Amino acid sequence: MVHQYKLNGYNIILDSCSGSIHSVDEVAYDIIAMYKEKSPEDIVRELLVKYAGREDVTEEELYACIADVAALEKAGKLYTPDNFAAMAGNFKERSGDVVKALCLHVAHTCNLNCSYCFASQGKYHGERALMSFEVGKRALDFLIENSGRRTNLEVDFFGGEPLMNWDVVKQLVAYARTQEEPHHKKFRFTLTTNGMLIDDEVIDFANREMSNVVLSLDGRKEIHDALRVDYAGKGSYDRIVPKFQKLVKARGGKNYYMRGTFTHANPDFTKDLFHMADLGFAELSMEPVVCAPGDSAALTSEDIEIVKQQYELLAVDMLRREKEGKPITFYHYMLDLTGGPCIYKRISGCGSGTEYMAVTPWGDLYPCHQFVGEEKYRLGNIWDGVTNTRLREEFRSCNAYARKECDDCWARLYCSGGCAANAYHATGSIKGVYEAGCELFKKRIECAIMMKVAESQEQD
C-alpha cells in the first residue's frame, strides 16, 4: 500500500509494506498517484495540461519519471504487495509462551491524588498495598524461568508510586543482578516516578541501575498543578521540578523521559513540551489522557483537531531546534529507519498478555498495567503461571492483521493494530478500534517521517 501526503512543504511517499520512503517533487507525486490507474500515455497527456508552461515538464521528462517509478516498483520499493497477512499468526506462535518483560506494581498507593489517574490514585480500584520482597523475587524468578532463550529482560518498577516501596525496589535490583550471570540474562530496569520522594540516594541508585527513568511532569506549572496535586490539594510542580533537574543532570546521558499527560485542559500541549525544554529537559514524551468518554478530562473531537495541528507544529519546531544545535527528542518521533524493528515486531506489537505482563503487589498477572484491577483480565499468578490460557490466546491473536478496520490502513505496520487497552476502553473489546487514537497515531507517524525527509534533505 502506498500512502502519499504533503507536509511542511514536502511531498512524501510511504510504501507501507517495504518500509520505503521517498521524497518527491509535485510531478512525481502526481505520477505515483496515477500510475496504477492510468496508462503512461494518459498520465503524460494529463500532466502536460496540468503543468503547461513549466519548462521542466516535457513529454520526455514525464516518461523518464514514469520509468523511474516502474524501476522502484521492480526493486520492491513502491507498490509492494502485502504478503505478511499469512505470517501474522505465526510470528507470535513461534515465541511460544516466552515472557520477557514485566511491569512490577511495587506500590498500589500514591502520594499524589491526580484526578485523571487511570490507576485510580495508584489503587487500581482495589486496596492500597505494597509488594513484598518475596513476591517481587518470585516475579523475577517467574520471568527468568519463562524467558526461554531471550537474553534481554525488562522490568519496570511501576505503581502507584514505586518510590513508596523503594527498599524493596533496591533489594529486587540486587537480587536480579545476582541472577544475571548464572542464567545468562541481562536485566534492564525502568523506574516510573512522580518525583515526590526523589533524594540524592534515589538519584544515585537510579542513575546507576535503571536503564531508563520515566519522570512524570505535565509541563507548565498551571497545567501540572491543576491535576497533579497531593492529598491536601496542593500542586506538586515546585517540589518535583528541582529534583527532576538534579536527577537528569546527574544521569550522564543515560536514557530518561519527561513524560506528561495532556487532557481537555491543554490540547495545546506543545506549550507544555516547550516548557519542559525551557527547564533543561531534552527527552520528552507527552500522551493523550486515558479516561472514559464523557470524563471532564477527556479530549473532545474539537480537541483532536487541535492536537493534530500541534503535532505538526511540534515537528517543525523540533527541526528548527535541531538546526540551532539545541535538539529535543519526542518519543513518538523517534524513528530508526535503518536499524528499526523487523517485520516480526511490526506485526506483533507490544506483546501484552504474552511476552509482557503486569504483576500486582499480590503476585497476580495481568496482560499489562492498564488491565490491572479488571478481574476478568486476570491471567494467573507468579506461582502457578498463566492459568487463564484462553485469555492469553486472545491476546496472542492481537496483531496488525487482526482487525478488518485496519485492512486499508497504511499505518498498521507502525502501530501493529494498536493498543489493546485503548481498544478495550474505547469499545469494550481488545480487538476493537480506538478511532481517535488511530487518527493521532497516523498524524504522529506522518510528522516523524516528514522530519526524516527534512533531515535527509538538510544533509544533501
| Positions in 116-145 near another protein (CB under 8 A) | 118
The CA radius of gyration of the chain, in Å to the nearest whole number, is: 24
Is the C-alpha dihedral spanning 74, 68, 3, 441 positive or negative?
positive
**Residues touching another protein, count (CB under 8 A):** 94
Q: Segment contacting another protein (CB under 8 A): 105-113, 121-129, 385-393, 439-447? A: 439-447
User: Of 23 and 207, which CB lies nearer to another protein in the complex structure?
Assistant: 23
DSSP state of 38: S
Cβ 402 to another protein shortest distance, Å: 12
Q: Segment contacting another protein (CB under 8 A): 35-43, 269-277, 304-312, 345-353? A: 345-353
* Contact status: 457 vs another protein (CB under 8 A): yes
Cβ 82 to another protein shortest distance, Å: 10
| Positions in 147-166 near another protein (CB under 8 A) | 150-152, 154, 156
| Positions in 310-339 near another protein (CB under 8 A) | 331-332, 334-339
Of 288, 361, 363, 380, the residue at the interface with another protein (CB under 8 A) is: 288
User: Of 90 and 296, which CB lies nearer to another protein in the complex structure?
Assistant: 90
SS3 state of residue 449: helix
* Contact status: 420 vs another protein (CB under 8 A): yes
Locate 143 and state its grid cell: 520471568
CA distance 215 to 196: 10
Q: Report the amino acid identity of residue 268.
A: D
218 Cβ neighbours under 8 A, 6+ residues apart: 224, 227, 228, 260, 261, 262, 266, 272
Q: Segment contacting another protein (CB under 8 A): 193-201, 228-236, 287-295, 306-314? A: 287-295
Cβ 234 to another protein shortest distance, Å: 25
Of 352, 395, 396, 443, the residue at the interface with another protein (CB under 8 A) is: 352
Of 7, 43, 47, 101, the residue at the interface with another protein (CB under 8 A) is: 101
Cβ 155 to another protein shortest distance, Å: 9
| DSSP β-ladder status, 152-159 and 210-216 | unpaired
User: Of 151 and 300, which CB lies nearer to another protein in the complex structure?
Assistant: 151
Bin 416: left if φ > 0, else alpha if -120 < ψ < 50, else beta. left
Cβ 33 to another protein shortest distance, Å: 13
| Positions in 15-54 near another protein (CB under 8 A) | 17-25, 27-28
User: Of 132 and 304, which CB lies nearer to another protein in the complex structure?
Assistant: 304
Cβ 233 to another protein shortest distance, Å: 25
User: Of 102 and 168, which CB lies nearer to another protein in the complex structure?
Assistant: 102
Cβ 232 to another protein shortest distance, Å: 27
* Contact status: 454 vs another protein (CB under 8 A): no
Decide: 351 and 392 in contact? Cβ < 8 Å.
no
Bin 35: left if φ > 0, else alpha if -120 < ψ < 50, else beta. alpha
Q: How many CA atoms lie within 13 A of 328 on its CB side?
A: 26
| Positions in 167-196 near another protein (CB under 8 A) | 188, 190, 192
Sketch the per residue contact string, 70 through 89, with another protein: x for CB under 8 A, - otherwise: -xx---xx--x--xx--x--
* Contact status: 259 vs another protein (CB under 8 A): yes
| Positions in 363-392 near another protein (CB under 8 A) | 368-370
Q: Alpha-carbon dihedral of residues 91, 97, 98, 101, nearest 10 degrees?
A: 100
CA distance 317 to 400: 31
* Contact status: 260 vs another protein (CB under 8 A): no
Of 227, 365, 421, 426, the residue at the interface with another protein (CB under 8 A) is: 421
Cβ 418 to another protein shortest distance, Å: 6
Cβ 205 to another protein shortest distance, Å: 20
Residue indicated by cell numbers 485510580: 120
Cβ 199 to another protein shortest distance, Å: 24
Cβ 390 to another protein shortest distance, Å: 22
Q: Long-range contacts of range 436-442, CB-CB < 8 Å, 24 or more positions apart? A: 436/299, 436/301, 436/304, 437/288, 438/409, 438/411, 439/304, 439/308, 440/288, 440/304, 440/307, 440/308, 440/311, 441/411, 441/414, 441/415, 442/409, 442/410, 442/411
* Contact status: 266 vs another protein (CB under 8 A): no
Measured at the CA of 163, the angle between CA 350 and CA 229, to 5 degrees, comes to 90
* Contact status: 448 vs another protein (CB under 8 A): yes
CA distance 223 to 420: 29
Locate 227 and state its grid cell: 491535576
SS3 state of residue 356: strand
